[in-house]
């Protein structure tokens, strides 16, 4: 309280402005949160399934797949990006509900979809086993994640 502002209106206005700025940086995903969480779970399941030959996604990611399968770099890169962005960044964005992380998840998951297409393509054109069900399921999960994050990111008014 001051002589010019006996009721503390300026302090109240500053507090209201701070709350407004905080609210504008947050997002409410609503029902999309359940779809995103489900896609994350499918992605985690897909990593346990065969990606190349008998090698699971974990084996491909760690580089412990059978050398005869000649896995290559693209499936490994997709596995790392899918777990880092599809799981890690998506969970962080869901927990914090910050617009910046929503945009990062949207762009990261969209890149990961392209990376997954390259990984599947590389297995279809290589000599050896083709893409396994886990690799295809991981790609589908990343497509759902990218679509949900993009729709949420562009929905800001």
pLDDT tens-digit series, residues 77-123: 999 999 999 999 999 999 999 999 999 999 999 999 999 999 999 88
How far is the C-alpha of 70 from the C-alpha of 6, rounded, in Å?
77
According to the model, what pLDDT value does residue 45 have? 97
Whether 24 maps to a domain, the answer reads no
**In the predicted model, is pLDDT for residue 136 greater than 90?**
yes
Tally the domains of the chain: 1
Whether 12 maps to a domain, the answer reads no
Which tens digit of pLDDT belongs to each residue from 21-42? 665 667 888 899 999 999 999 9
Query: Is the pTM of the predicted complex or chain greater than 0.85?
Result: no
Of residues 34 and 1, more confidence is placed in 34
Whether 4 maps to a domain, the answer reads no
Taking only Cα atoms into account, the Rg of the chain, rounded to an integer number of angstroms, comes to 22
Domain span including residue 106:
29-153
Whether 114 maps to a domain, the answer reads yes
């Amino acid at each position: 309280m001051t002589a010019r502002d006996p009721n503390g209106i300026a302090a109240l206005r500053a507090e209201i402005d701070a709350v407004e700025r905080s609210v504008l940086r947050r997002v409410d995903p609503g029902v999309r949160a359940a779809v995103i969480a489900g896609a994350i779970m499918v992605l985690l399941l897909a990593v346990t399934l065969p990606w190349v030959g008998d090698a699971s996604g974990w084996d491909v990611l760690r580089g412990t797949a059978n050398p005869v399968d000649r896995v290559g770099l693209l499936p490994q890169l997709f596995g790392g990006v899918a777990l880092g962005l599809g799981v890690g960044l998506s969970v962080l964005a869901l927990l914090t509900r910050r617009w910046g992380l929503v945009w990062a998840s949207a762009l990261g998951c969209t890149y990961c979809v392209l990376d997954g297409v390259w990984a599947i393509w590389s297995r279809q054109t290589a000599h050896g086993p083709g893409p396994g069900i886990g690799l295809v399921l991981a790609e589908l999960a990343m497509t759902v994640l990218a679509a949900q994050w993009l729709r949420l990111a562009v929905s800001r008014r």
